[in-house]
Chain A
């Protein structure tokens, strides 16, 4: 299964962190920074798999860290946790998975995730992810649920995403005028994106997605 899906930028700032294995928040953050430092050391053009002997990822069922280190290690051997990542412009998309997942399949899945984001944001860039982190979660929830893959068909995924956002809109429109702008979905987003200059805008277009 998929233990975690992470997005962080080239400076290590998390843009999305979703752990399907229950872990305390502090452990999550230390894992993110560990994985980031390992990945950012890797030069361009190397493979997308991270073999990290020193990365300890607590596997399911052993949420209390340090309680049974020995057993945890043993399980780790068997579970064969691995980190698979892709680098798009300023962002790293990282999946932490176990032996049940196909390495190349996960690479394809990352691509599916990115394309789905692209469809939902229209030329997605880092800023979109920053300001709409809830939307990113919604897209992810249409692809992966509880660490298992829900859907891999991009058309189906974006149809679900759109249906959900329509529902949100309808629900918000009928409520009082004090609508939190975060919930005013795709339309309200354009303005927030306009001004800022940082972040690679067309990073997805650049790699031909």
Chain B
């Protein structure tokens, strides 16, 4: 029988590549049959070849592994021959999945291979081991001692592989870290650079997973590597590791600055230079509190800026420069701002990766001064090329421009590469979202012109072509709600939007324009007093194509047209004439006809609104019909609307003496919508509603499920006398206080009652309500005293929350430096309601305890639970993590490192020495936590004992 080797298989596959898919599949199927035979056979070489072929096929094609493939792999792994064994271990990661029995089968074989005295053998299992260990926690537990043993193997090639295996091993078996950590630490001093490099890599990963706290004690060793090594890869790792450690121990910074600055100035490797700069930034070395911080920051930014400026040079450097600049922004925004031109240029880069980084950077460097420039430039990316020049800030201008050239704006001009890149939908979406978040950032802290925001939102809806309708809608609504001064402008431009049938047509395709239309409809409805032409607004809201839109859009359209009609009707009453009469009649009938299609529409909300509006309009229509223009007589309401007639009866009686010359039904609509002005509500408003004194939301309403005896709670009334009402806070607060005091008095008055009186009062009340089904009483004679429940009057008049506004002003001012006085005068910070409405009585700085979010990232890994600073055997009594007072001035570093070699009594002596105060306060070596050391020496003693015993 002829066996197909891997080479033959590959040749076969290549020969069939050109032919049809079916033939190729047939060939693979045939090969699989052969391989299965080979796997089942006795010949180990053939079996290994079969395993290798499966691996190759599985890489290329989505084929499942043959049954019992893992068992065959185990067999090959246990072959005594080196080349076959290697194939077995190569295939193992692909063959095994999860903690299956196959893995368990391998344990003894792996142990044997690891411990083999034949030097070439252990690397084979070590290569595959990380994968297997991460699959099976039980394997980690079993092999942990062997791995620790291999750490001291005579061959550095085996030592470094064993070091790397420790990471997955401890991932699966966190307890091992406690035992293995000192051994790992020794490897940092290994004679072989490769082993040290591997160890640094492992420490780096451990520190990333656990937080650096456990690894601060390694600082001296790492510092030694940093100053002594010439291997760039290792230096990069150490420098990156220090970026994790320094935030935990600020004193490290002082120690690190000299070597890092010398690396920055001397190294020829850009990768190392870059990592040094990055560590300076991320590791908090640029802290302005430090004397050298400012100068270092200057150096870092200049290096990065140099990469960025390098025109036509290395794109990679531009990319990472942008990446690092994002990190430097929070501390030194001004320095980065010097490179704004280069950064903005990067936004036009043909490379999407660079654009995205630039976008992120730009988003974080926005402030009051440059927001408009940056936003306009971003918008010009979205806009078609022709738009670039005329971009903004006039929404009206761009609206007309777009209206003129309209339709498939995208992908018109492929010659401009940068624009064609910007048209990829994912990028457009990201760009638009960033743009919006830039504006809304921290409740519009950077915005100085809200009219511009409105026009930007409109432009975005027109040019973005991505589904951000919801975001645009909430932006527009939020702005018009918060900023009173912008409403007139907003209504002005949005009124034009309403008339744009084309936009509606695009919106129906679900590309996001609907959001703007909905916002426009609502705004024009709510602030209808600013409308230039209510009549045309109504007709464009109830456009003939409205029935094609989504149900929510239709229902808000109906609502808005009702509002506008209400406003219009009320306004024409002031100069009532027969012309107006006719106009009103025409309007009513046109609205009615506009509503017609929705009376029978499927959506229940739309239908209900349409019906309600329609019926009310019928009433107005009838009233108008009966009205004779200038006569003094009031038209009586229509007969077939008895309820409404009745409702109006009382109010009309008053006016009888001076009946107005217009039909009263004109005022039917307006009060429905204007009783309370809508304002932005603070998001904490609900939480800030004070729970009335004595109201216990957690307590049972009826104790014991309604059957237990309730003792009368006299104490609560006493407590009530001690309400601290405070002072100040405006009218609303005064009102609230008054109410509260009144109640307080009421409560006190009651106290004068004797028990008998009260009982009598209750009995009387109970008798009164006995047959009333709306009063529920227990069978027992116990009831809560209703008067004990305080009543807080909810006043719906608007509260002027003074504080937020002034605060907004204040923060706006503080943003500007002293030297920008001119600027301030030119663009005074707009007055707007940043905080939103809060209920009466709640102070604006009311602190709701922010619920601590559970720290997911650190708690989920088993490894993270291991805290080396608390040793297992001891109770952590004096340990407050993060207290580094325990660090001490220490000069005997070398001694410490060779400590493991010392005898037991020497160790104790050394320990004694450590406790002595060190006289010379020379250089502060951040060495290690004292308590930790004790634990370690204790362990060493223990080990010693074991060896002795």
User: A residues touching B (Cβ–Cβ < 8 Å)?
Assistant: 1, 13-14, 16-17, 20, 22, 24-26, 29, 42-43, 45-51, 53-54, 60-61, 71, 74-75, 78, 99-100, 102-105, 107-109, 130-131, 133-134, 137-138, 141, 145-153, 156, 160, 163-164, 167-172, 175-176, 178-183, 192
Contact = CB atoms under 8 A, between A and B. Distances in A.
Contacts, number: 195
A14 B87 CA distance: 20
A108 B271 contact: yes
22 contacts: A22-B93, A25-B58, A25-B62, A46-B351, A46-B353, A100-B204, A102-B271, A102-B274, A104-B270, A107-B316, A145-B164, A145-B165, A148-B202, A149-B197, A150-B194, A164-B120, A169-B83, A171-B83, A178-B3, A180-B3, A180-B5, A180-B52
B49 A182 contact: yes
Q: What 5 A-B pairs come out closest when comparing CB atoms?
A: A146-B130, A104-B271, A171-B82, A46-B351, A47-B315
Given A61-B860, A168-B82, A47 B316 contact: yes
Contact of B60 (A14, A164, A170): A14
A182 B127 contact: no
Interface in B191-237: 194, 197-198, 201-202, 204-205, 208, 231-233, 236-237
Contacts of A108: 232-233, 271
Contact of A13 (B60, B160, B237): B60
B422 to A, nearest CB: 14
A181 B351 contact: no
A180 B87 CA distance: 12
Interface of B: 3, 5-7, 10, 14, 43, 45-46, 48-49, 52, 56, 58-60, 62, 65, 81-84, 86-87, 90, 93-94, 97, 120, 123, 126-127, 129-131, 134-135, 157, 160-161, 164-165, 167-168, 171, 194, 197-198, 201-202, 204-205, 208, 231-233, 236-237, 240, 270-271, 274-275, 315-316, 318-320, 323, 350-354, 356-357, 426, 430, 856-857, 860-861
A103 B58 contact: no
A53 B426 contact: yes
Contact of B201 (A13, A17, A130, A149): A149
Contacts of B157: 160
A172 to B, nearest CB: 5
A151 B82 contact: no
A207 B156 CA distance: 34
B426 A148 contact: no
A148 B198 contact: yes
A71 B236 contact: no
A180 B3 CA distance: 9
A183 B83 contact: yes
A102 B236 contact: yes
A45 B315 contact: yes
A182 B198 contact: no
A178 B320 CA distance: 54
B861 A145 contact: no
A20 B316 contact: no
Contacts of A26: 62
Given A134-B87, A146-B131, A171 B81 contact: yes
B319 A49 contact: yes
Contacts of A102: 236-237, 240, 271, 274-275
Nearest to B121: A167
B170 to A, nearest CB: 12
Contacts of B87: 134, 183
B268 to A, nearest CB: 13
B167 A104 contact: no
Nearest to A21: B134
A104 B120 contact: no
B242 to A, nearest CB: 13
Contacts of A104: 270-271, 274-275, 316, 320
Contacts of A153: 194, 231
B942 to A, nearest CB: 31
Nearest to A75: B857
A145 B134 contact: no
A180 B5 CA distance: 6
Nearest to A99: B208
Given A25-B58, A46-B351, A148-B205, A100 B240 contact: yes
Given A22-B134, A46-B351, A107-B316, A152 B197 contact: yes
A127 B354 CA distance: 34
Contacts of A47: 315-316, 318-319, 351, 353-354
Nearest to A30: B62
A167 B120 contact: yes
Nearest to A180: B49
Contact of B5 (A29, A74, A149, A182): A182
A22 B135 contact: yes
Q: Which among A146, A152, A164 has the highest number of chain B CB atoms within 10 Å?
A: A146
A20 B165 CA distance: 12
A6 B879 CA distance: 46
B7 A74 contact: no
A148 B275 contact: no
A180 B48 contact: yes
A13 B56 CA distance: 12
Nearest to A153: B194
Contacts of B198: 148-150
B164 A146 contact: yes
A87 to B, nearest CB: 13
A170 B82 CA distance: 9
A151 B160 contact: yes
A22 B316 contact: no
